[in-house]
Amino acid sequence: MYRYDEFDARFVKERVAQFRYQVERRLSGELTEDEFKPLRLMNGLYLQLHAYMLRIAVPYGTLSARQLRMLAHIARKYDKGYGHFTTRQNIQFNWPKLVDVPDILEDLATVEMHALQTSGNCIRNVTADHFAGAAADEIEDPRPLAEIIRQWSTLHPEFAYLPRKFKIAVGGAEHDRAALKFHDVAIEIVKNAAGETGYRVYAGGGMGRTPYVGHVVGDFVAKSDILAFLEAVMRVYNQSGRRDNIYKARIKILVNSLGLEETRRQIEHEFAEIRASRTLEVPQEEIARITDYFAPPAFEALENPSPEFEAARNADANFCAWSDVNLATHRAPGYAIVTISLKPIGGVPGDASHEQLDALADLMDTFGLAEIRVSHEQNLVLPHVRKKDLPAIHARLAELGLATPNAGLVTDIIACPGLDYCDLANARSIPIAQRLSERFADLKRQRDIGELKIKISGCINACGHHHAGHIGILGVDKKGVEFYQLQLGGSGAEDASIGEILGPGFGEHEIVDAVERVVDTYLEKREGSERFLDTVRRVGLEPFKERAYAGWAYHI
């Protein structure tokens, strides 16, 4: 785990003290709401539908047991007993009182946490592959680079007034689990023909009202040059990104108006200048120092296959089903990566109670697990689990209601908070996720359907990643009534694509049936072991459209 150095600790402490004073001045009337709002947003504090909302950063999605316990404490003491994990690996509390927020931030600082870079037009909390350091297909752990970017970006004066928010993700494996190509900038760790490790840099991806898949702007950037390269990208954005229209202010709009060739030319020009100055060269020893913080645990030489694991699979059908679906291949023999689903059937995607958070921290201590991860798919991940411990871990997770065997299946749905909580939403997302989850609850059916990513957003801002859903659902408001548009064929993985809109929106009571008809169409049309996404790509939208709108008077 990364540990704060003296500078980090002092900086976070000072920010808490500053915010305490800012809240006092707001309450005493020295600051108006207009003056205070940017200050609270710099500390992750929003005003939502029912109350304030505090968004806490989970850098690169990594938490310790101690940090998890602190989140449980905050949920219990200052909120309503639960937290909500987001699609940017953060956690949100939905009910804090303004007067309590300085105390919450002070409590967080004691476990090296904060709410910085979770709002406003800054470089946001950098996200990373949630299987970092554990995945069998990984070239290198992406988190040291994410931390280097964090250190470079937090107080950089040139990034204090960006045209708009700026989201960066880092991945280090063959499979993209971090939705890289839907970020303002993304870095993929790659190897070149000579076997050297370097960085492929993407820019101009994003969701929202104008979705784009990112373009490669740097084919192979040397490790020591990465900050110079990123600074070059930021310079181009800062100089030419639009500030006159909030809807056209993201870098994706700039990249697509300049064109890829011109974007690359401008970046190269700035990069050459910054590199020549050598002011942003990342020293090897600093890379090594930060990398050390993320060193994996010392893996034991374990029996593989594990007899305890195999015996439990034979004896317990529930364990067998869960281990079929929620485990991923670990780089070390005898170990596994566990996805803890926060998608119980009929539950709220991404919510966890304070009891669950505390109990997970206890479980981590019991089994010597130093880290837990938050995934952008709103699940939790135990990255380094001995397979022989899995039967006991599964039993405990089952007691906690955290053993739903649905990772990557049709009920593992991403949903934004939607109109149940969010001030920007046009329609509810969570109830649609709940009804879909109930409709497809049968595990046999789920496994027959196979990999199918449903993603739901309650407005065009796309926090629920609907553009990247194999099935995407967008909630819209039509004269005060909630309607839901279906999109098919999106992907947030290495084969990134933007889903295509199927047709007119469905009513709240029609959308679940429509999705079921779409899934049934897939089951009829699929060839061999083809995934839903592959079938959509092969046969196109027409057969799905025909079925989804069957019997509609205004069939298109």
Q: Which is nearer to other proteins, 12 or 463 (CB)?
A: 463
CB closer to other proteins out of 390 and 436: 436
**Shortest Cβ 213–other proteins spacing (Å):** 32
Instruction: Select from 126, 267, 158, 141 the least CA-distant residue to 204.
Output: 267
**DSSP class of 186:** E
Q: Give the residue among 328, 339, 315 at the shortest CA–CA distance from 403.
A: 339
In the complex, the smallest distance separating the C-beta of residue 27 from other proteins, rounded to whole angstroms, is 6
Given the complex with other proteins, which of 477 and 516 has the nearer CB atom? 477
- Report which of 65, 324, 328, 67 is spatially closest to residue 177, judged by C-alpha positions: 328
Q: What burial letters (b/e) apply to 20-38, b meaning 16+ CB within 10 Å? A: eebbeebeeeebeeeebbe
Of the pair 121, 426, the CB lying nearest other proteins is at 426
Give the residue among 341, 349, 325, 361 at the shortest CA–CA distance from 464.
349
What Å distances lie between residue 534 and 121, 265, 324, 489, 512, CA to CA? 37, 36, 22, 8, 22
Q: Which is nearer to other proteins, 29 or 157 (CB)?
A: 29
Which distant-in-sequence residues (6+ apart) come within 8 Å of 249 by Cβ?
A: 163, 164, 241, 242, 243
Binding site for other proteins (CB under 8 A): 26-29, 33, 47-52, 80, 95-99, 348, 419-421, 425, 427-428, 430-431, 434, 477, 480-482
Spell out where 491-535 has E strands.
500-501, 506-507
* Distance from C-alpha of 180 to C-alpha of 371, rounded to nearest angstrom: 23
Closest distance between other proteins and the C-beta of residue 348, in Å? 6
In the bound complex, what is the minimum distance in angstroms from residue 351's beta carbon to other proteins? 9
Q: Which CB atom, from 3 or from 479, has the smaller least distance to other proteins? A: 479
Q: Give DSSP secondary structure letters for 82-139.
A: EEEE-TTS-EEES---GGGHHHHHHHHHTTT---TTSSSSSB---EE-TTTTTBTTBS
Closest distance of CB 9 from other proteins, Å: 30
Question: In the bound complex, what is the minimum distance in angstroms from residue 235's beta carbon to other proteins?
Answer: 36
Name the residue nearer to other proteins (CB basis): 195 or 480.
480
The residue length of the chain stands at 556
Q: How far is the CB of 340 from other proteins (least distance, A)?
A: 21
The strand pair at 91-93 and 52-56 is best described as antiparallel
For the bound state, the minimum distance from the C-beta of residue 512 to other proteins, rounded and expressed in Å, comes to: 15
- Residue whose CB is less far from other proteins, 104 or 217: 104
Q: Is 62 helix (H, G, I), strand (E, B) or coil?
A: strand
